Amino acid sequence: MTSSFHRRLGVLLVSAAAGFGVWKGVPGTDLDRAAFTAVASGFVNPPLFVTGEGSYAAPWSLRAFSTESKPDRRQAPVIVSLGDDPTGFFQSSPPAPIDLAVIFTNFQRLGAKKAATAAVLAWDAPDPVGLAALEKSLSRFESLVMAAPLSRGAVSSAMPSAFRRASLPLTAVHGDTSALPVVNRLPIPGVVLGGESAFAGFSVLELETGEGFAPLLARWDDRAVLAFPLLTVLQRLNLPLSGVEVRLGEYLKLSPAGPILPIDSYGRLVLPRKAISGYAEISAEALIDGGDDLFPKQAPDPVILRDDRSALDPATRAFSRSLPAVVAAIASDEGMAQVHTYPRWSRAWEIGVLSALVVLLTALSGAADSVRRLGAPLLAAASLAAQWIALGCASIWLPGIPALAAIVAAWIVAGRIAKRPGRLRPPAPPAVPAAEAEPLPEPPAPNKKAKPPAKKAATKTAKKTTTKNARKIATKAPSPKAPRTKKPPSNS
């Protein structure tokens, strides 16, 4: 009775301390978040985005990707299209640097403070005066994003400063960065990338076909360069590069509170390219004589100059065609489902459930060893199943971790006490009634042949004495004489 009482008392105290201690300290911690994410991954395809604090006031919330959502066309940029110019409106075809200087000057006249050019600004023998005018017009924008194709050559070239300012160190990218496309040069020489404050992102990659998913990242030496559409969204939202979080194979987050994009292990946007038009599409020729209301007032920044000439290579044409859809997808969180909240039980309910579990564990500790060993795993499995069902069917986050802590603590304490009974006082044997007492076994019969050593020694002494006396008597006694026989007379 003493051993059973000690076991139950130990289980009661330890399981209650473990269960309620974990219930008090674990909610809201990384362990609780990891447990919630693991259970939720059984119902929602990863990657999962968990927010909240796991408390009663701010419970865990879950957001996942959805393939049913569509990009918001209101997030598409205003496009200024640079076409073939069949009427010869500009000085040359393709437009010369002085023509581009006039176009960007009209950007500013129409109220655009942010600009981005998806058209590659490069010429074989540019006019120095026109080139200087172009650089001067570009420097007037508050922020500027440029684009250029990237490729991989046998000899690596130095990264331009505009690309370096818009890149991330590889150490800031989580995952296997060796899977990213590798680049090390600009295949077109003499590309204009803006002034000292401009940012540059890649338009196309030489190794990419231009079809399928849009690439967002590439690796240049020890840096990760970003795609042009991604930089334009950062420019629009005024988000710093330091806030970008990249997890290859999971997601790319523009900031802690910014858009979240699903990406694969190669740094590509895991969303199909859905063709949509820009918020407004204006020809470059219309800028010259356009009124002040040519750019829609409610249109999002920046205004993007896009190259739509028919002489472009297929990869560049595909990039220009998908540009509004990719920018809208990045800015509007395309593919993200609505936020779903998973509240906890009330404080009274959680305390009641944990108390009932502690009482059950205490009662189970006094059962037979086989029942006790089987009961703890069954209770743990039941707790996990209840946690799973409550989250998936009732959208409730139960105190599963405190329950498991109480079960494990009870199982360890009960096992240790059962294995070390010597530390406890052994129970006294039950008293048996005198009438029912078994008779003591009779002692074995003495061996008749065996004699005590003292008696044996006395017997030997007596034998010696008797033998000596007998010899003395035999010596003193006269020997009997033989009767004399008469000699017969002789006949002589």
- Position 468 scores a pLDDT of 52
Domain annotation covers residue 472: no
- Position 158 scores a pLDDT of 92
Q: Would you call the peptide bond into 272 cis, given omega within 30 degrees of 0 as the criterion?
A: no
Nearest to 168 by CA among 226, 234, 116: 226
**Does 481 score more than 80 pLDDT?**
no
Least confident of 115-129, 195-209, 433-447: 433-447
**Does 170 score more than 80 pLDDT?**
yes
Domain annotation covers residue 462: no
Domain that holds residue 177: 73-331
Same domain, 48 and 166: no
Query: Which amino acid would we find at residue 374?
Result: L
Enumerate residues 6+ apart whose C-beta is below 8 A from 319: 118, 203, 204, 210
DSSP result, 209-235: -S-SSPB-EEEETTEEEEBHHHHHHHH
Domain annotation covers residue 464: no
Domain annotation covers residue 248: yes
**Does 367 score more than 70 pLDDT?**
yes
Same domain, 327 and 345: no
Question: Between helices 347-365 and 400-419, what is the axis angle to 10°?
Answer: 20
- Position 41 scores a pLDDT of 84
**Does 428 score more than 70 pLDDT?**
no
Same domain, 195 and 214: yes
Enumerate residues 6+ apart whose C-beta is below 8 A from 482: none
Domain annotation covers residue 432: no
Residue 463 pLDDT grade (very low, low, confident, very high; cuts 50, 70, 90): low
**Does 461 score more than 90 pLDDT?**
no
Q: What CA–CA distances, in Å, run from 161 to 39, 195, 331?
A: 46, 10, 26
Residue 9 pLDDT grade (very low, low, confident, very high; cuts 50, 70, 90): confident
Same domain, 183 and 313: yes
Same domain, 316 and 251: yes
Query: Which amino acid would we find at residue 42?
Result: G
Q: What CA–CA distances, in Å, run from 112 to 129, 308, 385?
A: 24, 21, 58
Query: With pLDDT > 90 as the criterion, what percentage of the chain qualifies?
Result: 36
**Does 58 score more than 80 pLDDT?**
yes
Residue 180 pLDDT grade (very low, low, confident, very high; cuts 50, 70, 90): very high
Distance of alpha carbon 104 from alpha carbon 131, whole angstroms: 13
Kind and range of the H or E run holding 467:
helix 453-476
- Position 150 scores a pLDDT of 95
Domain annotation covers residue 474: no
Burial class (CB in 10 A: 0-12, 13-18, 19+), 61: middle
Nearest to 218 by CA among 193, 246, 237, 191: 246
Domain termination residue (choose one: 396, 423, 450): 423
Same domain, 304 and 413: no
- Position 217 scores a pLDDT of 95
Domain annotation covers residue 170: yes
Same domain, 58 and 100: no
Same domain, 350 and 291: no
The more confidently predicted of residues 103 and 7 is 103
Domain annotation covers residue 491: no
**Does 413 score more than 60 pLDDT?**
yes
Total domains in the chain come to: 2
Distance of alpha carbon 217 from alpha carbon 224, whole angstroms: 6
**Does 424 score more than 50 pLDDT?**
no
Identify the DSSP state of 274: -
